[in-house]
Amino acid sequence: MSSDSRGVGSAAASVQGEAAVPSMPEAMVGDVVAGQLVELRPGLRRLTAPNPGMMTGPGTNCYLVGTGDLTVVDPGPDDEGHLDALEEAGAGRIRWIALTHTHIDHWPAAPGLAARTDAEVVGFGPTEGLELDRTLGDGDTVGEGDAALTAVHTPGHASDHICFWDEQRRVLLTGDHVMSGSTVVIAPPDGDMAAYLASLEKVRALEPDALAPAHGPLLTEPDAYLEHYITHRLAREAAVADALAAAGSAGADTEALVRAVYVDVHELLHPVARFSVWAHLRKLTAEGRARGVDVDDPDTTWVAVG
């Protein structure tokens, strides 16, 4: 879930939306077990990497798509045992490796898996330590036959984030754009709240039958889930705007606004929530509803406008 590059919080994290204590969200676990290969749909299997944690849930979900040649989405961490499991699950048929983004819990296994399989590695763009055989833009495809996926550029969580649309199964592989049981941290400057909300609407327009996130179980009521995500974000934004207005002409810094808004989240998660508040404030500033001395500095003083 990530934001580390995870840079901001390493997995870039997700904040449990309603929980009072900083433990692994139960809803993120569901039927997901690290190391277990599960068939979700004919030709769509999930293998969860052994990197569990508060920010990653039971681990990063790696998906194997296709019934003949295979596309692997988000191979996960560079772990020899995990690579062995992916290679075994692929049974000599892995031809493409597709990356949703370059946060560190998603891509490091790609070079090793490509070396073992001679698969093509694709994604929106490279990062340090990662070279791509081909870059993907919005609407580009990877794979062939029933392993074919369409890239849907979904900036917000990260500027290079891509979801992958499996049109044949009508499943959207969401990476960290949507996760089970938690909201996604939007960490400026690479994270952008306005872009994130627009990206949520973009994937909802596809009308998927299910969402396959990088963390947590398959989501089989996608429209309701996406609606909840959007409503939750807008409610947080309204709370930030109200707290800023209440601060009056003196304004408030980001830390003060976190304490005012995230009363339902354990204080140990406030450093992560701080990034989301900062992202909301940057969006409000762009809309002319707030002003910051330096919007690129999360510690600046913010004042409500209007």
The domains found in the chain, sorted by start residue, are 2-221 (3.60.15.10), 232-304 (1.10.10.10)
Amino acid 5: pLDDT: 32
Separation in Å, CA 294 to CA 243, 245, 254: 19, 18, 12
Q: What is the mean pLDDT of the segment spanning 100-124?
A: 97
pLDDT value, residue 52: 87
Q: Is 22's pLDDT higher than 50?
A: no
pLDDT for the residue 2: 42
Tell the burial category of 255 from Cβ atoms under 10 Å away from its Cβ (0-12, 13-18, 19+). middle
Determine the pLDDT at residue 55. Answer: 74
At residue 302 the predicted structure's pLDDT band, cuts being 50, 70 and 90, is very high
> Mean pLDDT, to the nearest integer, of 144-170?
98
- 3-class DSSP assignment, residue 189: coil
Residue among 99, 97, 144 nearest 116 (CA): 97
Split at pLDDT 50, 70, 90, the class of 223 is very high
Mean pLDDT computed over 211-227:
95
User: pLDDT at residue 116 above 90?
Assistant: yes
Question: Which is more confidently placed, 9 or 36?
Answer: 36
Indicate the pairing of strand 37-41 with strand 149-153: unpaired
pLDDT, position 181: 76
pLDDT at 170 over 50: yes
Lowest mean pLDDT among 18-22, 105-109, 119-123, 230-234: 18-22
Output the DSSP codes for 216-257: SS-BS-HHHHHHHHHHHHHHHHHHHHHHHHHTGGG-EEHHHH
pLDDT for residue 12 is more than 80: no
Alpha carbon distance 141, 200 (integer Å): 20
- In this model, does residue 140 exceed pLDDT 70? yes
Q: Taking residues 265-271, what's their average pLDDT?
A: 88
Q: What is the pLDDT of residue 178?
A: 95
Amino acid 143: pLDDT: 98
Confidence of residue 110 (pLDDT cuts 50, 70, 90): very high
Q: What angle do CA 105, 67, 130 make, to 5 degrees?
A: 30
Average pLDDT over residues 258-280: 92
Mean pLDDT of the chain: 90
The mean pLDDT value for 266-273 works out to 89
Is 50 exceeded by the pLDDT of residue 280? Answer: yes
CA distances from 205 to 24, 150, 200, 246, 288 (A): 31, 15, 9, 37, 28
The confidence score (pLDDT) of residue 182 equals 77
- Are the CB atoms for 232 and 251 separated by under 8 Å? no
Q: Which of 21, 31, 25 is nearest to 1 (CA)?
A: 25
Instruction: Give me the percent of the chain exceeding a pLDDT of 90.
Output: 80
Residue 17: pLDDT band (50, 70, 90) is very low
Confidence band for 29, pLDDT divided at 50, 70 and 90: low
- Report the 10 Å Cβ neighbour count for 134: 11
Global pTM value: 0.90
For residue 9, what pLDDT is reported? 31
Question: DSSP class of residue 127?
Answer: B
pLDDT of residue 162 exceeding 60: yes
Task: Between 185 and 223, name the one with better pLDDT.
Answer: 223
